[in-house]
Structure 1
Amino acid sequence: MSCSGPEGADWTVRRDRAVESLRHAVRTAPIELRDAIADYDGQALPGDTPKHREALERLIEEHDCVLGRMPGNQWYPSEPIELASFGVDGQGATLTAFACCFLLIDDLVCSRMDYMDFRLSNSPGRAFFDTPPDSFRIPLLDGIGVYDDMQDPTWT
């Protein structure tokens, strides 16, 4: 997917670099974070955790970490990703940041102001993104910069 910004700006390259940095953060994150996301659906039925885990692996390996590219029902793994991204259950900055990486990737690649708008304005809030470990903080802040620029009315 391609995007353009104000004339003279190379938004596509900047966005693609931010997305690749976020993907790298996801792919190199400790495996325990994938397990924690899969187990995060508090309303899960018996057997949902393995379904979330399998879908999370497909999201990362087959769909380049873009939720919008997953065919069919995206409940697996989007539900626990979204829940963990709010950072309201005391799960810690690392898990919240890991979950937000997926949502920011989706917003940037699909050129929408969807998932991250609420995360930046409400929960966990913009100030949160200064707190995760550098392996997440740096790519998230870079991606948020691109995301903010995408909201410019001259973005097309």
Structure 2
Amino acid sequence: VTQHSLRRAIGVVPQDTVLFNDTIGYNISYGKPEEDEEAMHRAAMAARIHEPITERFPKGYDTVVGERGLRLSGGEKQRVAVARTLLKNPPILLLDEATSALDTITERAIQAQLSQMREGRTTIIIAHRLSTIMDADSIVVMHQGEIKEVGSHASLI
């Protein structure tokens, strides 16, 4: 396993998304730069960030986000990270509080997209919201770094 193959195999959506001081388009396509613009737009639509990009910013995808994504809200940054991961389409997903900065309606829509994407993949979800992990095959409940319980949603409730 090389560092390059590992990076290609894993898609990460962190709670605190780090963006490059470059365009929105660059920050989405960073995960898979060989993809065309249409694929990037489809990923942005699935992540519910396409409309905010095209309606809020006159330069659209060519808008420079600023240092660490300063021009975007926390929820917009998370949606850019989700779009990046959807575009990358990796076999392993790591979702660390991936929708924590989103409103309930947007979170549900993105969770539906991520649910489709999780099929047939290894997915590790770190979450505090029960709604985020309800359909997981196995849930590990941790407290202060220790595993307290393991099971399905039904068996843990």
TM-score range, shorter chain: 0.3 to 0.5
Larger radius of gyration: 2
Structure with bigger helix share is 1
Structure with bigger strand share is 2
TM-score, length basis structure 2: 0.35
